[in-house]
Each structure stands twice: as C-alpha cells, then as structure tokens.
Amino acid sequence: MSTKFYFIQFALGSVIGGLIACSPTKFSQPDLSNSLCDASVTNCVVQNNYAEVTQDFKVGSGKVDILFVNDNSASMSKVQTQLAVRFSGFIQSLDAKSIDYRIAITTTDLSSVQGGQQLVTFGNGSKYLTRQDSNRVSLFNSAIIRNETIQCEEFITFMFNNYGTSFQSQPYYHSQYPIKCPSADTRGVYTANVVVSQNASSFIRSDANLNVILISNDNARQGKALESSDRAETFVSMMQQTYPTKYWDFNSIVVKDTTCRENQTLKTSTNQVVRNESGPAIVGGLGLEYAKLSNTAARDIDNKARPRGKILDICQSDYAQHFTTMSTQIAEDARMFSMKCTPESAPSVQATDNKAISYTWSGDKVIFSKGTEGRSVRVVYSCYTGPT
C-alpha cells in the first residue's frame, strides 16, 4: 500500500481546514524565507512567494526540550542525590534512540527565578545541555544537587544541635536563615510558568515537544493560599495561549500519600528528626496541585485521550524506574515530526527504503505510526513566505 493511500483518508479535512485558516492572513505575512531555509533543512527552494522545504528525519528521533523543576528547599538533598545517581540511565535511553534533546533546570524558589536566575547555569556556562555536551551527565548531576539546599540543611541541623527545639526562636537563626537558605515557599507551578512563558534563555524550540519534570516533597506553597500563577489551570491556559500547537507533558515526582509524607522530615547526621517546640521542624506535603496539573486532560500523539503526564512516587527508593517511565514516554512522543509551517497542501513523505510508511498529517505535524521507529524518511512541503 502506498504512502499516499495511508495519508489521504486522514488528510482531507485537515487540508480544507488548513486552507480556510490560512487564507485570511496569507497576503499580510512577512517574508519568512530566512527562517524556513535555515541550516536544519536538507534543501530549500524559494519561488513565487513559496518555499519548497525538504527535511530528512529518522522516525523516533524527534526534538524534545526537557525542563526539570527542582525543589531546592531544605530536606530535598537526599532526593536530589537519588536523581543524580540514576540520571545516566535516562540519558542513555534518549541517546539510544537518537532523540534531539535539550535539558534545563529551574527551581521552586520564586524569588530567585523572578530575580533573574530563571534557569540554573551548568558548569560549562550553558543554560541547557544537549547531546553535543560530552560530559552532560556529570554537568547535570552537579547542577541537580543544589548547594543552597545542602547549605540550608546544614545550617538548620547546626542550629538544632546547638539550641534544641528552641533553635527557630534564636536571633541568629532569624538573621541567617534568609542568607543560608532558599525560600521555603515552594512554588513549582509558578516558576515553571515564568520560565516557559518567557522562554528563558531561548531554551524552548518552536519545533520541539516540551516535557516538564517537577520534583518536590511538598505541595505548592506548603498549604498557603495559592495565587493564580500557582494553579494548574493557569499553566494550562498559558500553554494554550503561548504555545497553541506545541505538544507538551507535565510529569510530577511528588508525595502521593500520608505514609510518604511522614518520611519527608529533615534529620541530623545521626538520623534524629530536627524538631521545634511543636514537632518536626521541616515537613513535606502531598503534591496535590502538581498532581492536578499532571492529571489534566490531554491527547497523545495518536489523538487518544490521556492525562497530561505521569504522577510518580518521590518515596520510591530507586528512581531508575521513574526515569525509564519518562524516557519511554519521551521516545513515544518522538514519532512526531514538526514542519516549519502549516502547509496548505499535503506534504510528500517518502521512506528512504522506498517502502510504504504509515503516518498522519495534522497542521504542522506529521505523526508516524507505532512500529515505524528507526526508519529514515524525507518530508517535502511548501510554505508561504510572504510577498516579495
């Protein structure tokens, strides 16, 4: 069966819809030929206000921008270390499938993010890592384990060891806590909103999927009243307005039950729980708002209903399975190929082995069917460049 036969049944409605959507603004568009004919294309010919773009693609090696939202408050250093231990397996899974990724880290500390530290700077001076960074695993591990988290935990345990349960009432504690510690007001949805909506450091590519991975042992704001930007629905609305055609996931590694919550206390080097006069001084919370965002309704690349992301247990002792789950999801999404425009007519898709390949076309996306991973294809399509 030919490629075109696979395609034509799906595409008719999309072609008509695409023509209707494009025609009102067609003659007011700026000249887009420079952005279309960049180094990422195999060939590009501009003629009569159209660019014929040719791109080669290995199915399953699509682009994804991965944002880790790292809770850097006290009691999180153990979790951060567990992430670092298992990160190499995550990278190996992505590399094995030739996925074109960028990886960045932000924190849940809103004051730091709003103060200009939107993305963590890696040891090589970059704001994000790629496959071209030969030492990307060690760079990530050094960045995910936050020095400010360790410093804060050491300060709190020092105060507890010296002053007992009254340590938080000491003047020295009050004067030094803002210096030694990041904000205890964890606001992962808010900070993710800031970073993504502003596309910090141009991290997010227009033609890449987005995968947010949030790690926190507390709920947003630790039970305080949520502002609009702390809410799951605000993040969803922002994505719909800012990136209306982007395929995205939001995964949460959080506290899922009360048993796990009880284990999120800060302890001394002798395994003693750090307490104040009311009980444990540093406690965790159920990640309700984060789970709510991961549970929002979405559709997968095959247009089947699904939740927006995974909700994973932060108390699991070995994070290898978490990384396997997320890398599998990312690889599944990498069957999608993003074109540089929404073509008015069906793109030509040919496998380089000259055998039929099954796919669907929707807007600026070509989605290849399961089982086609690893095959090389050539996609040719036309984009309107604007009047000369």
231 & 362 share domain: no
Report how far residue 50's alpha carbon sits from residue 12's, in angstroms, rounded to the nearest whole number: 22
169 & 251 share domain: yes
Report how far residue 77's alpha carbon sits from residue 358's, in angstroms, rounded to the nearest whole number: 46
CATH of the domain at 310: 3.40.50.410
**To 10 degrees, what angle do helices 136-144 and 77-96 make?**
160
Q: Residue 136 — φ and ψ, nearest 5°? A: -65, -35
- Angle of CA points 290, 293, 295, to nearest 5°: 110
CATH of the domain at 353: 2.60.40
Domain that residue 26 falls in: 3-60+340-384
Q: Give me the pLDDT at residue 38, please.
A: 87
Report how far residue 305's alpha carbon sits from residue 334's, in angstroms, rounded to the nearest whole number: 18
Which segments of the chain have a pLDDT < 70?
1-34, 388
52 & 90 share domain: no
74 & 205 share domain: yes
162 & 219 share domain: yes
Strand-pairing partners, residue 209, are 64
Q: Give me the pLDDT at residue 104, please.
A: 98
Q: Give me the pLDDT at residue 223, please.
A: 76
Q: Tell me the residue ranges of DSSP E strands in 48-146.
A: 50-58, 63-70, 100-107, 129-130
pLDDT in tens, 94-124: 999 999 999 999 999 999 998 888 999 999 9
How many structural domains is the chain composed of? 2
- Angle of CA points 100, 328, 323, to nearest 5°: 95
pLDDT in tens, 40-85: 889 999 998 899 999 999 999 999 999 999 999 999 999 999 999 9
Beta strands 129-130; 100-107: pairing state: antiparallel
